[in-house]
Amino acid sequence: MHFSEQDIENLDKVYRINLINSCSGYKSANLIGSVSEERINNLAIFSSITHLGSNPPLLGFFLRPTEIIPRHTYLNIKENSYYTINSVQLEFVDKAHHTSAKYDRKISEFDITKIKSEIINNFPAPYVKSSSVKIGMKFVEEIKINYNKSRLIVGKIVELNVDDNLITNDGFINLSDAKIATISGCDGYSFPKSNSRKGYQKPQKS
Amino acid sequence: MHFSEQDIENLDKVYRINLINSCSGYKSANLIGSVSEERINNLAIFSSITHLGSNPPLLGFFLRPTEIIPRHTYLNIKENSYYTINSVQLEFVDKAHHTSAKYDRKISEFDITKIKSEIINNFPAPYVKSSSVKIGMKFVEEIKINYNKSRLIVGKIVELNVDDNLITNDGFINLSDAKIATISGCDGYSFPKSNSRKGYQKPQKS
């Protein structure tokens, strides 16, 4: 099936959203925890969290200009600077996906979904208690993408909490052991069962 | 296991790279095909390709300032504007991962790995023949991340080729049917077997 630039532009809106959201492959599944000045906790699912570098340790995510859900996360990050990134796992995937519903800012998705929050070491944003990987983030930079007015939010990892048994000797976190989700498209969830490591590659000698 | 900001900074380099690269979850696995002014085809694996919007249809990826491999891709994109993004599948995952080895710019990873290239409709960059999802991209914007000097490369989808049987009625591409890979950390590959769709979420009525 071949789609030209014009074909894509002419597609039915929902069809285009599903097609373009799934064509680039699997995405990360994470819940961002944040808190407003009025101390209302927010929880929202994101599929765009991306590794930007290990030293300094940076993660980024994208916000659409017109989306309503992530705006609460954005406002909270601008107000408080700190937020958390938490893995999504099989046991609570339905609750996690439901955080994408458009609730009023006064309503906490922790309350609605009954996903339990957790404060660790007085970190100034709420973690998800059941997540095996919990990342404490500090906002460092916001970058506007001119072409579609979306924003890249860059944060630094300032603490990291990982279930002990998931980390191998060389620091690699075994996501499949924790039944961590991956997202495809807008609403497809998979739980990879196994994992094979290919190692560092050197050029073949000719 | 708890890592403070200081703990992370003090980690052994390889341990830190593995830990920070795997903490944010599963990543997309794609091969970027590009071509230099001297008509040498390049092929390189990327795990940072991210959806930035459906209308206009945009994908972004990140380049580290010090990395040597992606620099060829970057130079080619700056020279030629067009590039391709191709899915990585079980049948050729080892070859795909080997494109991460640091070959000289005069050497084409298509030749080294025996991954077959394909030209479709005179598109000015090489596709991967065996990929089930092949995306034709045009460079639109380059954005520097000040905090770590990495770059976000933004491109527009100008054509899309997907195996017919993978697209469901509403435009969703079934990645698991094609045995498309997802990456964890620097070198972990998984092939999700099934997929469940959760649907669009509306707020619960109280």
Residues A189, A183 contacting (CB under 8 angstroms): yes
Q: Is the ipTM of this complex over 0.90?
A: yes
| Record: contact A21-B54, CB cut-off 8 A | yes
Among candidates A170, A185, A198 on the partner chain, residue whose Cβ is nearest the Cβ of B94: A198
Q: Where does chain A have alpha helices with state H?
A: 5-10, 13-23, 69-80, 93-98, 109-113
The per-residue pLDDT for B18 is: 98
Is pLDDT of B69 > 80?
A: no
Per domain, the residue ranges of chain B are 26-190
Are residues B28 and B189 in contact, defined by beta-carbon separation less than 8 angstroms? no
Specify the pLDDT at position A194: 85
- For A10-35, the pLDDT digits (tens) are 999 999 999 999 999 999 999 999 99
Partner A, chain B 118-137, Cβ-Cβ below 8 Å: 120-121, 133, 135
Contact residues, A window 65-84, toward B, CB-based 8 Å cutoff: none
CA contacts within 13 A on the Cβ side of A65:
11
Query: Which A positions 14-53 lie with beta carbon below 8 A of chain B?
Result: 14-30, 47-53
Q: Is B68 or A146 the better-scoring residue by pLDDT?
A: A146
Q: How many contacts (CB atoms, under 8 Å) link A and B?
A: 350
Rounded to 5 degrees, φ, ψ at A158 are -110, -15
The verdict on B94 touching A (C-beta cutoff 8 Å) is: yes
Residue A150: which of B17, B53, B200 has the nearest Cβ?
Answer: B53
Instruction: Give first-to-last CA distance, chain B, whole Å.
Output: 39
Task: Give the pLDDT band of residue B200 (cuts 50, 70, 90).
Answer: very high
With cut-offs at 50, 70 and 90, classify the pLDDT of residue A64: confident
For residue range A103-140, list pLDDT tens digits in order.
Answer: 999 999 999 999 999 999 999 999 999 999 999 999 99
**pLDDT band at B64, cuts 50/70/90?**
confident
Collect all residues of chain B within an 8 Å Cβ-Cβ radius of residue A194: 190
Q: Please check the confidence at residue B100 and state whether its pLDDT lies above 80.
A: yes
Architecture label for domain B26-190: Roll (2.30)
Residue-wise over B54-69: b if at least 16 C-beta within 10 A, else e?
beebbbbbbbbeeeeb
Confidence of residue B66 (pLDDT cuts 50, 70, 90): low
The whole-number pLDDT of residue A11 equals 97
